[in-house]
Homo-oligomer: A and B are copies of this chain.
Amino acid sequence: MEYPDDLDALEELHRTLGVPVTRVEAGREPGQGEALRVRTPDGHPVEFYHHMEQVPVYDDRGRVRLPMRSTHRFRGIPPMFIDHMNSRVEDPDASLTYWRDRLRFSISEYTVRDGKTFAAWLRRRRGTHDVAVVRSTGPSLHHVAYHVGEPADVMRTADLLADAGFRAQIDFGPGRHGLSNAFFIYVRDPSGNRLEISMGDYQRDLDAEPIRWEWEDYDEGGRLWWSPEYPARFLETTPVNPSWPL
């Protein structure tokens, strides 16, 4: 949240919506300030916070040392930030009344199938999305995406995993999405959660007209502008954790 007291406003909003709400004291999650946990109307656990501890930007002698400027110590690919999460929901139009109308996210792109929204990508910043809602049988998580600095980092993800013996963790890609223009690879973490490593999406004003994909166009060139055929396992999702302490 941009301002500390956004938490109060959000708590009130969610109480009005009649969904489970709880406050989380500062420090319960490492580095994170006070937070608000909710179950969204479309069934997803979400935690809002304002304060997050920053990575150090000075060295031991007090001189500036930006965190990315230690490449001589790094072996991996450095994600720059968490880019978005892609969620499955039962009724995307219903989800939009929450994300777009209540939380005032802006739709960047969407696609319609059989007269109803099939999927929508929403954001509170000029990038393509913070959250995607995609029609399925109910709430689940498809992937969380990390933004990297250049296309080479996407390929390097595959090289690193294969070299270290984790080739089977590469889920799908590399390829390019039509929607968002992102260049991507999907990998699985050790618990089986899907992570997207991507970059290359655009910046566009929040009040620009949402981009509409007809279903056939989306199916042909929106989901994937080019890429290998996706494997059946790419349709698997992570179920909502029923024991999340709300």
Interface size class on chain A is: 35 or more
Interfacial chain B residues near A64, Cβ < 8 Å: 109, 178-179, 211-213, 217, 221-222
| Shortest Cβ distance from A168 into B: residue | B226
B68 touches A202 (CB 8 A): yes
B155 touches A174 (CB 8 A): yes
B209 touches A54 (CB 8 A): yes
B226 touches A161 (CB 8 A): yes
B164 touches A66 (CB 8 A): no
Interfacial chain B residues near A217, Cβ < 8 Å: 63-64
B159 touches A226 (CB 8 A): yes
Question: Is A203 part of the binding interface, using a Cβ–Cβ cutoff of 8 Å?
Answer: yes
Interfacial chain B residues near A2, Cβ < 8 Å: 206
Binds B, one of A71-79, A86-94, A97-105, A129-137: A71-79
| Shortest Cβ distance from A125 into B: residue | B126
Question: Is A173 part of the binding interface, using a Cβ–Cβ cutoff of 8 Å?
Answer: yes
Question: Is A149 part of the binding interface, using a Cβ–Cβ cutoff of 8 Å?
Answer: yes
Interfacial chain B residues near A28, Cβ < 8 Å: none
B149 touches A152 (CB 8 A): no
A211 touches B71 (CB 8 A): no
Question: Is A231 part of the binding interface, using a Cβ–Cβ cutoff of 8 Å?
Answer: yes
Determine how close the nearest CB of chain B comes to the CB of A66; give it in whole angstroms.
5
A117-159 interface code vs B (CB 8 A; 1 in, 0 out): 0000000011000000000000000000000011110011011
Given the contacts A181-B68, A217-B63, A226-B170, A176 and B151 also touching, CB distance less than 8 Å: no
Question: Is A167 part of the binding interface, using a Cβ–Cβ cutoff of 8 Å?
Answer: yes
Question: Is A60 part of the binding interface, using a Cβ–Cβ cutoff of 8 Å?
Answer: no
B181 touches A71 (CB 8 A): no
A202-218 interface code vs B (CB 8 A; 1 in, 0 out): 11111011011110010
> Could you list some 19 contacts between A and B, CB below 8 A?
A63-B214, A63-B217, A64-B178, A64-B212, A64-B213, A68-B181, A69-B159, A69-B162, A70-B163, A72-B163, A73-B163, A75-B75, A125-B125, A149-B200, A151-B152, A155-B155, A158-B176, A161-B226, A228-B229
